[in-house]
């Protein structure tokens, strides 16, 4: 059992944004996993988390039909949304959720997501009324992950709120890392594991207050967001606070490629 599994629940709704087009894995939301579409498997995880309502939001009627065939509510959304957050914003506006409604964005390619983490992030936001968003992170112990641009890091303040997200290695361990940096190169293989301060890997699961979701589409892209290609930096650029739930366990990886899909299918076959 994970350390966030014992957190008492807070009322929340869950939305699974599902865009049918995918470059690396065509029609990913409809990929069969143990007899059900992947997006349905994800929605079932959100249900198991105790969400008051679970909704699949998609730009495809085929996804909606698959959802409804398995008893999952679904809503057709516009096909021009640049991000899943924008899709959630349309849902929040159309359903007229109150400002304080907590909405969890459950990524449609996470069929192994722990329901306890979903409810944990929702409860974490409820416990931080000064924050518009809550997300999660876990400790990194591998220097190669610290230096990987594919691993998003987050630095926290004393209250556990995000100070910054980056693809760069943050915080920079000056005394530990500097000896392995030449003028023209960084010897990652020689880097020690981070010890001077915790390094956290961001987990891409978000809980929002509906108030923020209605504001988000009107916010222009921020320079730091464009630089890092991280949309959560837009919220921080405009002064919104993000509470971060820290777990020492990494969640199972999502499905991005055919190899990922086969790995997940094999896990369901073995159950």
pLDDT greater than 70 at residue 196 = no
Q: Mean of the pLDDT values across residues 222-245?
A: 96
Q: Give the Å distances, CA to CA, from 9 to 19, 115, 159, 191, 267.
A: 29, 12, 21, 41, 28
Q: Mean of the pLDDT values across residues 48-63?
A: 95
In a domain, 190, yes or no: no
In a domain, 243, yes or no: yes
In a domain, 195, yes or no: no
In a domain, 110, yes or no: yes
pLDDT range class, residue 197, cuts 50, 70, 90: confident
Q: Report pLDDT for 174.
A: 76
* 8 A C-beta contact, residue 15 and residue 86: no
pLDDT range class, residue 61, cuts 50, 70, 90: very high
| Tally of domains within the chain | 1
Q: Report pLDDT for 84.
A: 79
Q: Report pLDDT for 5.
A: 39
Q: Which two tokens stand for residue 134?
A: 């809550």
pLDDT greater than 90 at residue 189 = no
CA distance 17 to 37: 14
Q: Mean of the pLDDT values across residues 201-223?
A: 94
* 8 A C-beta contact, residue 77 and residue 144: no
Q: Report pLDDT for 6.
A: 36
pLDDT digits (tens, 9 = 90+) for 78-130: 888 888 788 899 999 999 999 999 999 999 999 999 999 999 999 999 999 99
In a domain, 163, yes or no: no
pLDDT digits (tens, 9 = 90+) for 103-114: 999 999 999 999
Q: Report pLDDT for 205.
A: 95
Q: Report pLDDT for 180.
A: 72
Q: Report pLDDT for 7.
A: 39
pLDDT greater than 80 at residue 54 = yes
In a domain, 3, yes or no: no
Domain that holds residue 66: 12-137+202-269
In a domain, 187, yes or no: no
Max mean pLDDT range (5-19, 43-57, 171-185): 43-57
Instruction: Return the minimum-mean-pLDDT range out of 18-27, 61-70, 224-233, 261-270.
Output: 18-27
Show the 3-state SS of 159-223. Answer: CCEEEEEECCCCCCCHHHHHHHECCCCECHHHCCCCCCCCCEEEEEEEEEEHHHHHHHHHCCCCH
Please count the other Cβ atoms lying within 10 Å of the Cβ belonging to residue 51.
25
Q: Report pLDDT for 101.
A: 96
In a domain, 85, yes or no: yes
Q: Mean of the pLDDT values across residues 30-34?
A: 94
Q: Which of 65, 52, 60, 63 is CA-nearest to residue 13?
A: 52
CATH code for the domain in which residue 92 is found: 3.90.550.10
């Amino acid at each position: 059992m994970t350390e966030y599994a014992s957190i008492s629940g807070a009322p929340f709704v869950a939305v699974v944004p599902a865009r049918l087009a995918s470059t690396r894995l065509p029609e990913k939301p409809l990929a069969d996993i143990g007899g059900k579409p992947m997006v349905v498997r994800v929605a079932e995880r959100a249900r198991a988390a105790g969400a008051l309502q679970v909704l699949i939001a998609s730009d495809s009627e085929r996804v909606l039909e698959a959802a409804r065939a398995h008893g999952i509510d679904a809503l057709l959304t516009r096909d021009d949304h640049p991000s899943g957050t924008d899709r959630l914003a349309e849902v929040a506006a159309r359903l007229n959720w109150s400002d304080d409604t907590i909405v969890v964005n459950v990524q449609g390619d996470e069929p192994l997501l722990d329901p306890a983490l979903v409810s944990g992030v929702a409860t974490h936001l409820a416990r931080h009324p000064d924050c518009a968003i809550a997300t999660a992170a876990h400790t990194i112990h591998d220097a190669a992950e610290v230096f990987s641009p594919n691993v998003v890091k987050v630095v926290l303040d004393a209250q556990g709120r995000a100070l910054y997200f980056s693809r760069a290695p943050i915080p920079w361990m000056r005394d530990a890392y500097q000896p392995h940096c030449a003028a023209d190169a960084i010897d990652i293989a020689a880097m020690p594991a981070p010890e001077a301060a915790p390094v956290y890997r961001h987990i891409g699961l978000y809980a929002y207050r509906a108030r923020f979701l209605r504001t988000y589409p009107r916010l222009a892209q921020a320079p730091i967001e464009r630089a890092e290609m991280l949309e959560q930096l837009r919220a921080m650029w405009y002064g919104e606070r993000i509470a971060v739930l820290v777990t020492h366990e990494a969640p199972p990886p999502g499905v991005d490629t055919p190899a990922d899909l086969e790995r997940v299918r094999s896990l369901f076959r073995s159950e």
